[in-house]
């Protein structure tokens, strides 16, 4: 579903007037159109099928080693993402770490970041975003388990209210075999063991705050 740029621009003009500004002054004259273009990018995932990138799978058994099935997890770390908090319409951004236990079919690794991109390009809360990524992968692929760890910084925490600039939010979503505590702990240690912000190995870093707090 395409964003209605004209309606967004009109709403921004009204918003500027509501805060006491003159949307016709030189510095703001083209701001409504700029914001409309920005929103078209930030909210491009509204109405899109997040499972579409996972439609093309690759058979493991119909390859050079037909008797071989995956026995361990497939992991993709440090997927950059950004979204917009639906509580204040302020951005939050960070990294997604994804692991899944494949069955007979696997998916091209480039498909997983595209799932994240589609789901992040909507008004979101981080807790729901992680769950939606996990559900999309579990529902679209032949998996025995899925684990999604999101680590993000929220402008509604860092730039308003208490203004905690060093705070990040960590959320975990698990499905199938990876919802079992021991299996989940092992995979989390591998996924975030080289955490970019200097966290201890094997542990998510930073306190966890509710998105949009």
CA distance 10 to 158: 29
Catalytic residue status for 209: no
Taking alpha carbons only, the member of 32, 185, 29, 159 closest to residue 92 is 159
131 is catalytic: no
Signed CA dihedral, 60, 63, 67, 71: sign only:
negative
Give the Cβ contact number of residue 69 at 10 Å: 11
Q: Is 201 a catalytic residue?
A: no
Active site residue 205: no
- Which value, in Å, is the radius of gyration of the alpha carbons in the chain? 20
The answer to whether the beta carbons of residues 132 and 150 sit under 8 Å apart is no
Is 88 a catalytic site residue?
yes
Q: Which of 33, 86, 127, 186 is catalytic?
A: 86
- Hey, is 57 helix, strand or coil? strand
Distance CA(211)–CA(82), nearest Å, equals 13
Q: How far apart are CA 12 and CA 36, in angstroms?
A: 8
Is residue 48 annotated as a catalytic residue, yes or no?
no
Task: State the catalytic residue, choosing from 21, 33, 48, 87.
Answer: 87
The SS3 assignment for 35 reads helix
* Catalytic residue (choose from 88, 127, 155, 209): 88
Residue 195 token pair: 């955490």
Catalytic residue among 124, 126, 131, 132: 126
Tell me the catalytic residues: 85-88, 126, 154, 156
């Amino acid at each position: 579903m395409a964003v209605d740029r004209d309606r967004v621009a009109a709403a921004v003009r009204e918003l500027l007037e509501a805060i006491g500004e003159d949307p016709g002054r030189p510095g703001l004259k083209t701001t409504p159109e700029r914001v409309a273009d920005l929103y078209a990018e930030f909210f491009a995932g509204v109405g899109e099928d997040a499972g579409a990138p996972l439609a093309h799978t690759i058979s493991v058994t119909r390859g050079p080693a037909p008797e071989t099935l995956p026995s361990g997890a497939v992991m993709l770390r440090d997927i950059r993402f950004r979204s917009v908090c639906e509580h204040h319409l302020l951005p939050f951004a960070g990294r997604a770490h994804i692991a899944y236990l494949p069955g007979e079919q696997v998916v091209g690794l480039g498909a997983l970041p595209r799932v994240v991109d589609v789901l992040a390009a909507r008004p979101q809360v981080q807790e729901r975003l992680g769950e939606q990524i996990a559900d999309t992968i579990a529902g679209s692929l032949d998996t025995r388990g899925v684990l999604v760890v999101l680590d993000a910084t929220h402008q509604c925490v860092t730039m308003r209210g208490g203004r905690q600039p060093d705070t990040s939010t960590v959320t975990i979503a698990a499905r199938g075999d990876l919802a079992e505590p021991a299996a989940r702990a092992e995979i989390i240690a591998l996924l975030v063991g080289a955490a970019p912000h200097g966290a201890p190995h094997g542990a998510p870093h930073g306190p966890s705050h509710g998105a949009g707090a």
